[in-house]
Amino acid sequence: MASPNPPSDREKVASKLPPALKQELKVRAAELQLDIQDAVTTAITNWREAPASSQVLDTTGADSFSTWLPNGLYDAFKDTCTDRGVSYIQGLAQAVRRWLDVNPSPAHRPEGGIPERKIVCNQKGGVGKTAISAGIAQAYAEMGKRVLLVDYDPQGHLSDQLGIAQIPPGHDSLVAHMCGESDGNLRDLIVPIADPRFGGRLDLLPSCFDGFLLDARVGVKAVQTRGFQKEAALELALEPVESYYDVIVVDCPPSLGIAMDAALYYGRRRQGEPAGVSGVVIPVLAEDSSATAYGMLAGQIGDLCADLRVDVDYLGIVVNLYDGRRGAIATTSLAEWRKLGDPPVLAVINDLKEQREAVRRKEPLLSYAPSCEQSEAMRDIAKRVTA
């Protein structure tokens, strides 16, 4: 949408954009009922305020593009391009791309406000549930989806790795909302991940120390309150914020109790939802103890599905921290995981240094080392388990 009679405080500017990017901008502005000049004004302003991006867009074949901008903005934009060592065409392309990512198409939002739900779980600790949860959430955000990452483990490793404090005891928390004991808004507890790579699309619900008492508190609530279903407690808490997100990723603790039942129930296939969109992602190691833990988890899923007459889809297995140099145990275990077939092995992630370095720096992996093997594996997993 273009304004035929721009106000006097604007000047016409001419540049170039790749045809596909220009068309996407035109369509998105129309979907959001915005003038293109206003969309580009916001895009350039936000691009100048954000840290310089390492991403270089392909501008081959860029053709003419003109619009109206506030007086002086284009000159300021060109100065920023010079400071960052990019061409004006590259700078404009980056600005428009960033605006498109931050303002997704309404047509891509989940029907009925129901997001995809990825439950990352295993009954064994130390298999990399937190790393996989964080990595695929970051990958979804890169893809343009709005993502909520839930630190459901009271140990709080996920929150800590992203440099965000846990919620202390006695404060409003996910547990309080799960027990129906909060008058607050869960959205007030959610913390945005302030990294320009994710375009404002990645949020975290931090861990809370009260999570260590979750099973007991939810159990008491179920006894004292008629009609309260303990398995639905996580859904009860997250339902008010679901419409804000396309994907919700839950990083689970190893648990055979109510906490895990509530997470599995939350990830069940809902009425009208296609199979394989929501469900469980299971990180494992190439060793025998992971197979034992997997059997325990499968038993718990089977019991829940039978008792409540629901379906929980297995989205796949991720063999994490793999090192074939560890000998026959590692190689034969990997072969056994692959032999399962259903659920499939989504990825084999080697034991490399970038993930540990990102944790030490309290930075998202896909921001710290966007081109490393582990980051590419996270993107592959996300692409394989999405609508």
**Model confidence at 287: pLDDT above 90:** no
The residues, any chain, with a CB within 8 Å of residue 31's CB and separated by 6 or more, are 105, 106, 107
Q: State how far the alpha carbon of 35 is from the alpha carbons of 19, 211, 223, 282, 374, in Å.
A: 18, 47, 56, 45, 40
Give the residue among 238, 294, 240 at the shortest CA–CA distance from 266.
Answer: 238
Q: CA–CA separation, 117 vs 149, rounded Å?
A: 10
- Strands 314-322 and 279-284 turn out to be parallel
Region of poorest pLDDT, from 130-139, 157-166, 329-338? 329-338
Please report which helix (H) or strand (E) contains residue 14, including its range. strand 10-17
CATH class of the structural domain 109-384: alpha beta
Percent of the chain with pLDDT over 70: 95
Average pLDDT (343-368) is 91
pLDDT in tens, 8-63: 688 999 999 998 888 889 888 887 778 899 999 999 998 998 888 777 888 998 99
pLDDT in tens, 48-63: 988 887 778 889 989 9
* pTM flag (> 0.75): no
Q: pLDDT confidence of 238, banded at 50, 70, 90?
A: very high
pLDDT in tens, 174-196: 999 999 888 889 999 999 998 88
Give the residue among 333, 331, 346, 335 at the shortest CA–CA distance from 290.
Answer: 333
Q: pLDDT confidence of 4, banded at 50, 70, 90?
A: very low
